[in-house]
């Protein structure tokens, strides 16, 4: 079975500073993918970034980067130069192989608040 753990229920950051949202995972599959989604107060799920288990380089998408440490089973999201619009709930998720293909296993989420 797969498991995602986000240990930070809430995080605060000053505008223009960087912030790291933690995510650890557990799976026995060798092939898996890690995703981060943003959920603003309006409720929709917005895809941010993806990291494959065989990717040698950390994924980056604009101000988002994923700090992937495979041996530690962590996939932390780094948001650089925070903006007020980054205030939202952030979910880490994993898709593993085998019979779980297609299924996303989500963490509990972290609420990020960006202060002006």
Q: Which residues bind another protein (CB under 8 A)?
A: 4, 6, 31-33, 35, 37, 43-45, 47, 50, 52-53, 91, 93, 95, 97, 101-104, 106-109
Closest CA relative to residue 90, chosen from 48, 18, 38: 38
**Residue 66 beta carbon to another protein: minimum distance, rounded to whole angstroms:** 13
The residue among 41 and 116 lying less far from another protein, judged by its C-beta, is 41
**Residue 95 beta carbon to another protein: minimum distance, rounded to whole angstroms:** 7
The residue among 20 and 100 lying less far from another protein, judged by its C-beta, is 100
Both tokens of 22, joined, read: 């933690």
* Pair type for strands 3-5 and 24-26: antiparallel
Radius of gyration of the chain (CA): 14
**Residue 69 beta carbon to another protein: minimum distance, rounded to whole angstroms:** 19
Closest CA relative to residue 113, chosen from 2, 5, 15, 44: 15
């Amino acid at each position: 079975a797969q498991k995602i753990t986000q240990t930070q229920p809430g995080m605060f950051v000053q505008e223009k500073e960087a912030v790291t949202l933690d995510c650890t995972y557990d799976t026995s599959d060798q092939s898996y993918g890690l995703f981060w989604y943003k959920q603003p107060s309006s409720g929709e799920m917005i895809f941010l970034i993806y990291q494959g288990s065989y990717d040698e380089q950390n994924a980056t998408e604009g101000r988002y980067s994923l700090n992937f440490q495979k041996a530690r089973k962590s996939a932390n999201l780094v948001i650089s130069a925070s903006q007020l619009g980054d205030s939202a709930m952030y979910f880490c998720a994993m898709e593993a192989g085998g019979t779980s293909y297609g299924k996303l296993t989500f963490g509990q989420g972290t609420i990020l608040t960006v202060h002006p």
